[in-house]
Amino acid sequence: MSSDKHAHPARKDLAARVLDRTGVDVARCYQCGKCSAGCPLASEMDFPPSQVMHLLQLAGMGPEYADMALRSHTVWLCLTCEICFCRCPMELDIPAVMDALRHESLRQKKVNPRARSILAFHRAFLDSVRYTGRLFEMGQVVDYKLRSGHFLQDLLQAPWMFLVGKLHLLPERVRDRRALKRIFAGTRQAGEERP
Ligand code: SF4
Ligand code: SF4
């Protein structure tokens, strides 16, 4: 009997989706660990990058492995700093894999509960850019605090940031709002059309 008959469909889906979105074939990873050794956040992660690659390789053994990768805190902690990519002897684009896993994790509603604040920050940042065309720090801070519930976090920094002109009360907006709308609509459509 061919090994394909034993493969769990969840593995095919996740590995194929990662391959389709990123061009990275996780089977090429030979677990040397160089990516994890260089990752600045490895000590904070539930699975360092080489283990995420391993989970993807093992996903055919049962759906729980794909699930562990998708539910990991790691994919949300990754900074996309690309150190792992530079160190990988197989030139595997791990940050792109992390991005694909974030996308899948959101799509399958498997986001790690500890990533709530990180997601709140991402959404506040994107909404600021969506509505003004620029980063409006004050708006982003208020939005982030409302989404995350971290009302007192970094509060003492605010007066100092006002004094040095880093926080403005009103946003600056780009003139061509239609172009901005087109960019966001195009990005959303591209994301939906991707496998
Ligand atoms: S891109 Fe992500 S996984 Fe790679 S070294 Fe940076 S933080 Fe670690
Ligand atoms: S550096 Fe590349 S080959 Fe080595 S464990 Fe990481 S992803 Fe795999």
Hey, where are the domains in the chain?
A: 3-110, 114-193
- Which atom of ligand 1 lies closest to the CA of 49? 3
Give the ligand with the smallest distance to the CA of 47: 1
pLDDT (tens place) for every residue of the chain, 195 residues total? 334 444 444 445 788 889 999 999 999 999 999 999 999 999 999 999 999 999 999 987 788 999 999 999 999 999 999 999 999 999 999 999 999 999 999 999 999 999 988 988 888 888 888 888 888 887 887 788 787 888 777 777 878 887 887 778 888 888 888 888 898 888 877 766 665
Neighbouring C-alpha atoms within 13 Å toward the C-beta of 11: 22
- Distance (angstroms) between ligand 2 centre and the Cα of 121 equals 29
- Which atom of ligand 1 lies closest to the CA of 77? 7
Predicted pLDDT of residue 12: 58
Predicted pLDDT of residue 192: 67
- Distance (angstroms) between ligand 1 centre and the Cα of 92 equals 12
- Which two three-digit tokens encode residue 72? 């990991």
Predicted pLDDT of residue 47: 97
Predicted pLDDT of residue 106: 92
pTM of the predicted structure, to 2 decimals: 0.80
C-alpha pair distances (Å), 14 with each of 9, 69, 116: 9, 10, 23
If you take atom 6 of ligand 1, which residue's CA is the nearest one? 81
Specify the CATH number for 3-110; select among 3.30.200, 3.10.50, 1.10.1060, 3.30.360.
1.10.1060
Query: What does the angle CA 61 – CA 96 – CA 11 come to, to the nearest 5 degrees?
Result: 15
Q: What is the DSSP letter of 153?
A: T
* Element (DSSP H or E) covering residue 75: helix 74-77
63: left (phi over 0), alpha (psi -120 to 50) or beta: alpha
Predicted pLDDT of residue 36: 98
